[in-house]
Structure 1
Amino acid sequence: MSNLLVLLILLPAAAALVCYFVRSMAVRRLTVLATGGILTLSALGLLAQGTFAPTEVGSFLGIGSDFLVTVLDFVLLGVIYFYGYKHKSLLIQGFTLAQVVLLAWFEFFMVGHEAVPAMMGDQLSLIMVLVISIVGSLICIFALPYMKEHEEHLHLKKTRQPRFFFFMLIFLGAMNGLVLSNNILWMYFFFEVTTFCSFMLIGHDATEIATKNAVRALWMNALGGLAFVIGMMLVYTQAGTLNISAILALGTTAPVMLTGLAFLCLAGFTKAAQVPFQSWLLGAMVAPTPVSALLHSSTMVKAGVFVVLRFAPAFAGTFLSTGVAVCGAFTFLACAALGVGQSNGKKILAYSTVGNLGLIICCAGINTPLALTAAIILILFHAISKSLLFLCVGTIEQSIGSRDIEDMRGLYGSNPRTALITIVGILTMILPPFGVLLGKWMAMEASADSNIFVVVMLAMGSAMMVVYLARWAGSMMGSRKPGARAESQPMLIRLPLMTLCLGAVVLSLASPWIYNSMLAPWIGSAPFVVGFGSLESAHGTFVVVPLFLVLGLGLLYAVRAASGYRRVKIMPPYVSGANSASGDGAYVGPMNGDVPFSTGNLYLGEMFAEPKLTPIFNALAVALIVLMLGGAL
């Protein structure tokens, strides 16, 4: 087991150094491919071995691991402070300096430095390791050909790929370290590593807008780091230990503990880009597509929801738990509303990500076995579908030069393979019997026994999310070119796309058995019984296999019906009989002039205008967070 932990955490760091110092493209390609393969096998091996109790980590080159992490903490904070100084950001400097002061006080005057088992592997950790190692590796593999074309587009004289893959791989190791940590100081260290990696990757292209958004991401997450340190100090004051397992076993024993947990939740909110912190993740769109995919699916934002989920058992049944649920549900609703007015593909996916993370955090706040099951299901399937969609948008953007969904209209005619994979990815986000909708159904059932406001926000948010995703899928499905041929793609582009697409479908089909073997043991009180390919509870039944059979029959019928497409005569649009004699789709307008026919989506810009709604949502979210923190005091 210890060897697997080393591979999952330290191998990406070693591979990152190889990518940075060995400038050969062939070596970099081989290193990324080998690292991805080893991480995948190691994650599967750890899953096969099963959960493990908190375990100690030995010394490294004769240096105690706890001491090494402490030193690296201060070094990393020093580096972050330097970048704050370099970019003249008083917020970064202030938040980082506050962390240094508080951490120094904590390390030298509060902590007894008792031996704490550093690593722990429960079902939550193992599932997170699978998501990080497999999905993250596929994104890194996709980045190999993508970044080559990206740099050709930018006309760079000197490649920045060594630096790029250095931080991509470090990110994966840091995330594995975070989700496996049993020492809260270790968790904080890896938490900060993800902050720094995201800053460097968002600013990778070194343009003015990239730097601006990277700095914003750094100061917001530095605020989260400060909240983490404060929460850690308050929790230690009450619990007297850094052992996360022991802290969870104590439960809600005192108001001071609850206050510390509230600050840890706030740290998770910033990392998960919850409203009002969503602007840093929206700004991350300027980064190359593999960065967006990594941030949204398997690393950065998942670190935020993991922190909230990890400590959720300690605040179950409290006002803090209700506050977390309401904040998460509000983010889900707000981002669904903001997404309706968007036509930028990446921005739609960004709002969808923040909203779904809000749904996961809401489930952590509801804090029942059913809600926690929904949270894990959503983490797993959202990571797969969202990484697939981001990679699809990147592929489309490099093909047509735009990420606007209006420019993707009729994409099937020119890029049928990418269009179909994108449509499948969207459908796995909004339709049964796929995993994301299964998680949403569980969340809705769990919320039925919760706050009525939570129920209403989840229902409204779900409806609006379907609107903007279904609208996008519909735009790509039509084509005026019969018999479209699949476009050529590099193998390392096609492999991740096909793997993630297949994974989203196959794992959804296997979701009842995934629940039975991986989730039910962690939840303890199993809210579902697995029937014939279905999940049954006291509230209702979600049929999986029967729906897949119906879906398969429908697909066969559609393919057969479409086989006669080439024999169909393509007609111009019917415009109430006012078609122009030119026959090119124009219609006769005022003064008998020809008016070109055009189609477009309805975005309801007046109702869902981002500049108008964002300040309102931010103000309401701040008020909810203040109430959450105030209730925990």
Structure 2
Amino acid sequence: MLDTLVFGSVVFPLLAALAVYFVRGDAARNIIVPVSVAITAAAAVGLAGLGSFSYSPQAILGISLNGLITVLDFALLGFIFLIALRMGNLLIMGLTALQVLGLVYLDFFLADHGAQITGFYADSLSLTMVLIISIVGGLICFYGLGYMKEHEEHLHLAKSRQPRFFFFMLLFLGAMNGLVLANNLSWMYFFWEVTTLCSFMLIGHDGTDEAKTNATRALWMNMAGGVAFVAALMFLQKSTGTLSVQDILAKSAAPGMKTAALLLPMAFLCFAGFTKAAQVPFQSWLCGAMVAPTPVSALLHSSTMVKAGVYLVIRMAPAYQGTMLSAAVAIFGAFTFIAASALAVGQSNGKKVLAYSTIANLGLIIACAGINTSAAIAAAVMLIIFHAISKGLLFLCVGAIEQKIGSRDIEAMRGLFKVMPRTAVITVIGIVTMMLPPFGMLLAKWMALESAATATAAMPPLVIMLALGSALTVLFWARWAGVMLGSTMPGENPPAEHQPFSVRLPLLLLAGGAVGLSLLSPFVYSMLVAPATALYAKATAYTVTMGVFENNAGVFAVYPLFLLLGVGFMYALRAAKKVGPEAASLPYMGGSQKVVDGKIGFNGPMNGFVETAAGNYYLEALFGESKLSKSINVIAIVLLAVMLGGVL
């Protein structure tokens, strides 16, 4: 049973990817993609039902799995080198060559090939990741069926590129599952670089100059992280004699083990995680990924690529717990949180708001990993779960809106309810679950702030950055929600909204999941999150009774808050139903307003008609990319240098 479920999560998506690539035609693709993501999701649920496990497959078709992974490592890097050679990109060629040289030294001069390392190991953390990847990522792939059909119609392609597109989407799912289940760090590295290749291919999918430029940037930044990963493997093999995650974590718990020999490779692994999670100063690759089709943006930002980075930092956190490196990771993550939140404030492009919000929340997760207490790790895992659902939902909503109205600008979404009532409501639900209690994201942020304030080595700058970053997130979410809440005139009925089933179903399921899992957050914590914290501290982070989270610092009453929210919603709904047409009026502009050809305006200079326009302030003079990016990147580079220098 176990080998079948692991096969279904890791290998089967690759076979499905090959099938969707070689079996061409819309009819075949519309069968292969839903069936394959359903099987992958079922395998993930099956693994979660089994609980923690160790699994060491020795061979496939008589071929040693360790030897096969080694061959595939070099083949993958060779393929990337050929891509760089074709592009004439010396930087990527150099970064690839460094990884090849490092692997040669590791595999042929350092590694003990007689040592037995458990290939796959799953605990509550990795199983939670598998569920997110397979279910949320699977829904995103399914959404792509309807989205990509219309996307290619807009591009007027003579020949469909969907077989290639879905090949890399499904391959991505399998690689991510392999990454989070891998106990052998050399296996994890292989899956890590597969995701790097997939992201490059998917970001550059449309083939425009802008897409190619941003795909190239994503490749070289992630390849830089790959170099750090290989360096970490060499140092770990040299200092600990093993690449087993479980053995390394066990050895790090021994007195006197947390020396530079261990902390230096941990710092390299954290650096690799920072690049994959697009932390400052590497944020530009993720913002550039916005040129890709929406399913790519959703997959990279919510459930796969970027979550690999934070997963690695959290997974290895016990090895650097209680050290200066841990404090440096916390400060770096908190700085990314506040910096990316500030950058999001200055954006009116919906996808960029989502991109910077993603980077910010990943920074918050990394800050929790650096705080490194059981409460902080609980907050990190809760953030991973609820961020994946709500952010995946919002990306898919923006994609559907863009295809309907031809814009992803927030201001263009004013009065969207008149055009896309269902999608407008679902988008508001997604925004509300990101910014208001008692939804899961706010519960997790409360946990994060509380853990920062109550940690034994609490640092005031860390708490201040997390608090200010949280305030900025409320600003840009509330502004967007305010635009979306524009409604029809009293008495008007919005039109029926028509969407492909493959688009409508993921939106409904993710919206239901964001609200439903928030209602079930006490059970989510007890079943998935609390067991994951056992690696980091024996003490229980929170006690949960009747939907109330409690520890020595405070309480978060989930169900009483939901009851209050429900009462308020019902009262507002009843009040709205009583509003008649007489309540509507034109904007008041000193008595000079008038209507011309159905347009509302006022008498301007020379008695000319000026149409009114509503808009938000985006404070670009304070929060614009051109204003902040350079200084943010400089500070981030200094923090990275301090982190690495402190270890040395």
State the TM-score, normalizing by the size of structure 1: 0.98
Matched with 1:181 is: 182
Matched with 1:341 is: 346
* CA deviations over 1:312-359 (Å, ceiling 9, x no partner): 010001010001001100000110111111000000000000000000
What is the DSSP-based 3-state SS (H/G/I as helix, E as strand, rest coil) of the residue aligned with 1:606? Answer: helix
What is the DSSP-based 3-state SS (H/G/I as helix, E as strand, rest coil) of the residue aligned with 1:507? Answer: helix
- 1:480–1:570 Cα contact (<8 Å) kept: no
What is the DSSP-based 3-state SS (H/G/I as helix, E as strand, rest coil) of the residue aligned with 1:433? Answer: coil
Matched with 1:426 is: 431
Matched with 2:585 is: 571
Counterpart of 1:451, as a letter, is M
Worse-superposed segment, 576-585 or 517-526: 576-585
- RMSD (Å) for aligned C-alpha atoms: 1.2
Shift in Å, 1:466: 1.1
- Of all paired residues, the percent bearing the same amino acid is 56
* Structure-to-structure mapping, 1:280-319, within 5 angstroms: 280-319=285-324
Matched with 1:99 is: 99
Unaligned runs of 5+ in 1: none
Q: 1:467 aligns with which of 472, 475, 490?
A: 475
What is the DSSP-based 3-state SS (H/G/I as helix, E as strand, rest coil) of the residue aligned with 2:347? Answer: coil
Shift in Å, 1:491: 1.1
What is the DSSP-based 3-state SS (H/G/I as helix, E as strand, rest coil) of the residue aligned with 2:299? Answer: helix
Unaligned runs of 5+ in 2: none
Name the CA distance, whole Å, in 2 between partners of 1:19 and 1:47: 27
Matched with 1:496 is: 506
Name the CA distance, whole Å, in 1 between partners of 2:504 and 2:564: 28
Name the CA distance, whole Å, in 1 between partners of 2:582 and 2:189: 62
What is the DSSP-based 3-state SS (H/G/I as helix, E as strand, rest coil) of the residue aligned with 2:593? Answer: coil
Counterpart of 2:201, as a letter, is M
Counterpart of 2:543, as a letter, is V
What is the DSSP-based 3-state SS (H/G/I as helix, E as strand, rest coil) of the residue aligned with 2:600? Answer: coil
Name the CA distance, whole Å, in 2 between partners of 1:568 and 1:551: 29
Shift in Å, 1:485: 3.0
Name the CA distance, whole Å, in 2 between partners of 1:528 and 1:604: 39
- 1:20–1:163 Cα contact (<8 Å) kept: yes
Counterpart of 1:585, as a letter, is I
Name the CA distance, whole Å, in 2 between partners of 1:160 and 1:154: 11
Name the CA distance, whole Å, in 2 between partners of 1:86 and 1:429: 43
Answering whether residue 529 of structure 2 is matched by residue 519 of structure 1, we say yes
State the TM-score, normalizing by the size of structure 2: 0.96
Worse-superposed segment, 585-594 or 211-220: 585-594
Shift in Å, 1:565: 4.2
Shift in Å, 1:569: 4.5
Name the CA distance, whole Å, in 2 between partners of 1:16 and 1:581: 57
* Structure-to-structure mapping, 1:508-587, within 5 angstroms: 508-524=518-534, 525-565=539-579, 567-580=581-594, 584-587=599-602
* CA deviations over 1:553-580 (Å, ceiling 9, x no partner): 2222222222234544421112243323
Answering whether residue 136 of structure 2 is matched by residue 135 of structure 1, we say yes
- 1:195–1:221 Cα contact (<8 Å) kept: yes
- 1:92–1:218 Cα contact (<8 Å) kept: yes
Answering whether residue 33 of structure 2 is matched by residue 19 of structure 1, we say no
- 1:572–1:584 Cα contact (<8 Å) kept: no
Residues 581, 431 of structure 1: CA spacing in aligned structure 2 closer, same or farther, 3 A cutoff?
A: closer
Matched with 1:238 is: 239
Counterpart of 1:495, as a letter, is L
What is the DSSP-based 3-state SS (H/G/I as helix, E as strand, rest coil) of the residue aligned with 1:372? Answer: helix
Counterpart of 2:545, as a letter, is G
What is the DSSP-based 3-state SS (H/G/I as helix, E as strand, rest coil) of the residue aligned with 2:121? Answer: strand
* Structure-to-structure mapping, 1:58-77, within 5 angstroms: 58-77=58-77
* CA deviations over 1:375-396 (Å, ceiling 9, x no partner): 0000000000000000000000
Answering whether residue 396 of structure 2 is matched by residue 391 of structure 1, we say yes
Worse-superposed segment, 425-434 or 587-596: 587-596
Answering whether residue 459 of structure 2 is matched by residue 451 of structure 1, we say yes
Counterpart of 2:110, as a letter, is M
Name the CA distance, whole Å, in 2 between partners of 1:618 and 1:554: 43
Worse-superposed segment, 266-275 or 546-555: 546-555
Name the CA distance, whole Å, in 1 between partners of 2:605 and 2:168: 59
Name the CA distance, whole Å, in 2 between partners of 1:92 and 1:243: 29
Matched with 2:626 is: 611
Name the CA distance, whole Å, in 1 between partners of 2:541 and 2:103: 41
- 2:5–2:46 Cα contact (<8 Å) kept: yes
Matched with 2:515 is: 505
- 2:338–2:360 Cα contact (<8 Å) kept: yes
- 1:238–1:254 Cα contact (<8 Å) kept: no
What is the DSSP-based 3-state SS (H/G/I as helix, E as strand, rest coil) of the residue aligned with 2:620? Answer: coil
* Structure-to-structure mapping, 1:136-155, within 5 angstroms: 136-155=137-156
Matched with 2:56 is: 56
Name the CA distance, whole Å, in 2 between partners of 1:105 and 1:350: 38
Name the CA distance, whole Å, in 2 between partners of 1:510 and 1:399: 34
* CA deviations over 1:437-473 (Å, ceiling 9, x no partner): 1111100001113211111111111111111111011
